[in-house]
Amino acid sequence: MAQEQIGQFGINHVSILDKEGNVDEKLASGFTKEQLSEMYYYMNLLRKFDEKLFNLQRSGKIGTYAQTKGQEASEIGSGLALSENDWFVPSFRELGVYLTRKVPKNLLVQAWNGDTRALGNPNHSHNLPISIPIGSQCIHATGIAWASQIKQEKDVTIVYFGEGATSEGDFHEAMNFAGVFNLPIVFFCQRNGWSISTPTTKETKSETIAQKAIAYGFKGIQVDGNDVLAVNKVTTQAIEKARSGDGPTLIESITYRMGDHTTSDDSMKYRTQEEINEWENKDPVLRFEKYITNNNILNEQEKTDIHNAIEREIQEAVEQGLSVEKPNPEQMFEDVFAQMPEMLKEQKEELLNEIIQMSEQNNNGGNQ
């Protein structure tokens, strides 16, 4: 019996910006002032908009909300690596990527207020609506990428998911198909430490998420997900690789969910304040702020202008998003089939009669 090593695999970790805002000069070169300024705008916009949506939920103005806080670098860094025609397939915590895709902010407010009209695709762009069934979007992304390949189009697909999603079968089928057919896709895992109350160590025995790519025959890479420069660089490379026909990449972006899972969760039941404090030291927004300030990339006036613009845009978005007329009840009948079947028309009539009746009863002071 002979034994020889027939394979050897490794995983690289990439970082450019440390938590004090110091950079690896060689890796940081190549970012223009315009790019850095755009990152600065989006990172701060995301932090502020996320806070605003959280507060709107707390004051009862919108429904359950899933915070993004802590994941700004991961989302903005990767989102800005995409071209307009690339396909964006989200999970449900990618507010930042939606912003970089220039989805109108008032629609994002409206969507978190349970209004279907806001889930639509205003620019007919390659953005999918949020996907709540965990992991299921991975396999659609693979199909989208496959279609691009078959049609010989140059669009790349990026799909987002948490590390919890890597426990679902859909994720593995998506990865396997992508490998077998060498598809133009980037799997972007936001490893944020927790899947509700379940820590990463209970989702997987793997030391890294990135290494899961090895089993499917393509490259996995780990990146400091709180370092917007590193995330942007790694994602840009993966996108270019996919675009040039060299197949998929799995990116493991190490970050942290600084807020609760959603506004219905209380994370103090399962994690410690010390852990949160530790990650506050690695805050991606503050880290980038230090870098921008220490290196005089933006002066005080430029920064103030950006912050003022952010304040104004958020205020406008919230005003518009909340003041929009409530959806008509019959709306829910409209988009089920391309043409409404007779059967649904009848049910719709029944509802409309019911509504008239209810409002008459209310006017007469009776209960419904």
Partner 1 sequence: MTKMHMVSALNNALDIAMKADDKIVILGEDVGVDGGVFRVTENLQKNYGEQRVIDTPLAEAGIVGCSIGMSLNGLKPIPEIQFSGFSYQAFHHIKQHMARIRQRTNNTMSCPMVLRAPCSGGIRALEHHSESPESFFIHCQGIRVIMPAGPYDAKGLMLAAIKSEDPVIFLEPKKIYRSFKEDVPEEAYEIELDKANVRKQGTDLTMISWGAMTRLCEETIEDLEKENISVEHIDLRTLWPLDINTLSNSVNKTKKCIIVQEATKSCSLSSEISAQINERCVLNLEAPIQRVTSWDLPFPQFALENYFLPNKTRIKNAVKKVLEF
The residues annotated with a catalytic role in the active site are: 257, 261, 270
What does 150 interact with, of ligand TPP, partner 1, none (CB < 5 to 8 A by kind)? Answer: none
Compute the C-alpha angle 323/327/328, nearest 5°. Answer: 135
Strands 198-199 and 185-191: unpaired
At 195, which helix (H) or strand (E)? strand 194-195
Min dist CB 288 to partner 1, Å, is: 31
Give the Cα separation of 180 and 143 in Å (integer): 13
367 binds, among partner 1, ligand TPP, none (CB under 5 to 8 A by kind): partner 1
Binding mask 1-40 for ligand TPP (x = CB under 6 A): ----------------------------------------
* Contact criterion met (CB below 8 Å) for 112 and 53: yes
* Cβ distance to partner 1 smaller for residue 58 or 270: 270
| Cβ proximity to partner 1, 169 vs 245, nearer residue | 169
Please, which residues bridge with residue 194 across strands?
199
Site for ligand TPP in 213-242 (CB under 6 A): none
Residues paired with residue 162 on neighbouring β-strands, in sequence order: 190
Which amino acid, 205?
K
| Residue 245 interacts with which of partner 1, ligand TPP, none, CB < 5 to 8 Å by class | none
> To the nearest 10°, the Cα dihedral for 277, 300, 45, 321?
130
**d(C-alpha 334, C-alpha 348), whole Å:** 10
Composition of the chain by helix, strand, coil, percent to 5: 50, 10, 40
- Amino acid 175 reads M
Handedness of CA 221, 222, 226, 227 (dihedral sign): negative
Site string for ligand TPP, 176-195 (x = CB under 6 A): ----------------x-xx
Nearer to partner 1, 154 or 348 (CB): 348
Which residues in this chain contact partner 1 in the complex, by CB under 8 A? 63-64, 92, 113-116, 119, 132-136, 164-165, 167-170, 195-198, 202-204, 264-265, 269-270, 326-327, 329, 331-333, 336, 343-344, 347-348, 351, 354-355, 357-358, 361, 367-368
Instruction: Tell whether residue 70 is a contact of ligand TPP (CB under 6 A).
Output: no
Residue nearest to ligand TPP (CB): 162
The answer to the question of residue 212 lying near ligand TPP (CB under 6 A) is no
Kindly indicate which of the ranges 44-52, 144-152, 157-165, 263-271 contains the residues binding ligand TPP, using the contact rule CB under 6 A: 157-165
Q: Which is nearer to ligand TPP, 164 or 321 (CB)?
A: 164
CB contact at 8 A, 122 and 107: yes
Task: Answer positive or negative: Cα dihedral of 72, 78, 79, 81.
Answer: positive
**In what helix (H) or strand (E) does residue 18 lie, and over which residues does it extend?**
none
The CA-atom distances, in angstroms, between 99 and each of 80, 149, 243 are 10, 27, 23
Kindly state whether residue 162 participates in binding ligand TPP, applying the rule CB under 6 A.
yes
Residue 343 contact among partner 1, ligand TPP, none, beta carbon within 5 to 8 Å by kind: partner 1
> For residues 121 and 198, which CB has a smaller minimum distance to ligand TPP in the complex?
198
Binding region for ligand TPP (CB under 6 A): 93, 132-134, 161-165, 192, 194-196, 257, 261
